Amino acid sequence: MGYRPRIRRGGSVYDLPLPVMILDLNFQKRTQTVVVPQEDGVFPVSNYRGSLNVAVSGVIQIGNPQDGDRTIGMVTSLLTERDLMVAALIENNEPLIFYTYVASATVAGSEIGESGKGTRYFKDCAAADLTFNVTNRSRRLVMYSFNLLVPDGVEWRSV
């Protein structure tokens, strides 16, 4: 099992560029309360799991660090990576699966990664946004970030 963030939408799999610097999980809980007359405070009536927001930030490394300047190939590589991320996250309305840990990259006759013991993933996700920061001082690194909404708030694990 290895830390390998990837996205699967339909039959397509996209491995996120490494390194992924930040993977924030913001779990939400829904609580309904009632106010009782002549009593202080509120009283919880129901308490259940809410949605989950997943914030991911990473870096796309451009070209060979030994080179002094960006070349056409490096720029083309960046544009291709950007286009792949936009296609995987934004351009399609069907839900996606976001994997964090993948036990097996290829398992014949099964969904990628889901049958490997220990694989962790979020299913039925929707991408909220995707941002690229190409204005940093390093000419070799392009920062990216995106947010996912996981409606059921569950991190699934294959056993």
Distance CA 86, CA 88 (A): 6
Residues 6+ apart with CB under 8 A from 41: none
- Asked if 147 contacts 54 with a C-beta cutoff of 8 angstroms, the reply is yes
What is the band of 69 on the pLDDT scale with cuts at 50, 70, 90?
A: low
Could you name the CATH architecture of 2-157? Answer: Beta Barrel (2.40)
Task: Classify 89 as helix, strand or coil.
Answer: helix
Average per-residue pLDDT in the chain?
79
* Two structure tokens written together for 73: 């190939």
Percentage of the chain surpassing pLDDT 90?
A: 19
Kindly state the DSSP code that residue 103 receives in the 8-state scheme: S
Where are the chain's structural domains? 2-157
Q: Comparing 7 with 31, which gets the higher pLDDT?
A: 7
- In the predicted structure, residue 149 carries a pLDDT above the cut 70: yes
